[in-house]
Chain A
Amino acid sequence: MYTTELKDKNEKNTKPVGAGLAAEDPQRLAVFEARVAADDFIEPKDWMPEAYRKTLTRQISQHAHSEIVGMLPEGNWITRAPSLRRKQVLLAKVQDEGGHGLYLYAAAETLGTSRDEMVEALHSGRAKYSTIFNYPTLTWADIGAIGWLVDGAAIMNQVPLQRTSYGPYARAMVRICKEESFHQRQGYEIMMVLAAGSPAQMHMAQDALDRWWWPSLMMFGPPDDNSPNSAQSLRWRIKRDTNDQLRQKFVDVTVPQADAIGLKVPDPDLKWNEQRGSYDFGAVDWEEFYAVVRGEGPVAKERMNARVSAWEDGRWVREAALAHAEKRRASRLAAE
Chain B
Amino acid sequence: MSKEWPLWEVFVRAKNGLSHRHVGSVHAADAKMAIEAARDTYTRRMEGVSLWVVPSAGITASDPGDAEALFAPAADKVYRHPTFYSIPEHIRNI
A positions within 8 Å CB-CB of B: 43, 45-47, 95-96, 99, 102-103, 106-107, 109, 114-117, 120, 168, 171-172, 175, 179, 315, 318-319, 321-322, 324-325, 328
Contacts and interface: CB of A to CB of B under 8 A. Distances in A.
Nearest to B61: A45
Contacts, number: 55
Interface SS, A side = helix
17 contacts: A45-B61, A45-B63, A47-B65, A99-B41, A102-B41, A106-B24, A107-B24, A117-B1, A172-B24, A318-B2, A318-B29, A319-B2, A321-B5, A321-B29, A321-B33, A322-B29, A324-B30
A204 to B, nearest CB: 31
B44 interface: yes
A106 B4 CA distance: 14
A205 B40 CA distance: 34
A325 B30 contact: yes
A87 B1 CA distance: 37
B41 A46 contact: no
A109 B64 contact: no
Given A99-B40, A116-B1, A171-B24, 20 more contacts: A45-B64, A46-B64, A95-B44, A96-B44, A102-B24, A106-B26, A107-B24, A109-B7, A116-B4, A120-B1, A172-B24, A175-B23, A318-B2, A318-B29, A319-B3, A321-B33, A322-B29, A324-B29, A324-B30, A328-B30
B25 A99 contact: no
B18 to A, nearest CB: 17
B13 interface: no
Interface string B25-67: 1110110010000001100110000000000000001011100
A111 B13 CA distance: 26
Contacts of A315: 2
A266 B76 CA distance: 65
Interface centre among B1, B24, B63 (most CB of A within 10 A): B24
A310 B16 CA distance: 40
Contacts of B30: 321, 324-325, 328
Contacts of A318: 2, 5, 29
Contacts of B41: 99, 102-103
Interface in B1-15: 1-5, 7
A273 B2 CA distance: 58
Nearest to B22: A171
Contacts of B44: 95-96, 99
Contact of B24 (A45, A103, A120): A103
Contacts of A96: 44
A322 to B, nearest CB: 5
B29 A106 contact: no
Contacts of A115: 4, 27
A102 B5 contact: no
Contacts of A325: 29-30
Given A102-B41, A106-B25, A114 B61 contact: no
A31 B6 CA distance: 34
A102 B26 contact: yes
B14 to A, nearest CB: 13
Contacts of B29: 318, 321-322, 324-325
Contacts of A175: 23-24
Contacts of A95: 44
A45 B64 CA distance: 6
A320 to B, nearest CB: 9
Contacts of A103: 24, 41
Contacts of A114: 4
A102 B30 CA distance: 18
Ranked 7 nearest A-B pairs via Cβ: A321-B29, A325-B30, A106-B25, A106-B24, A325-B29, A116-B4, A46-B64
A45 to B, nearest CB: 5
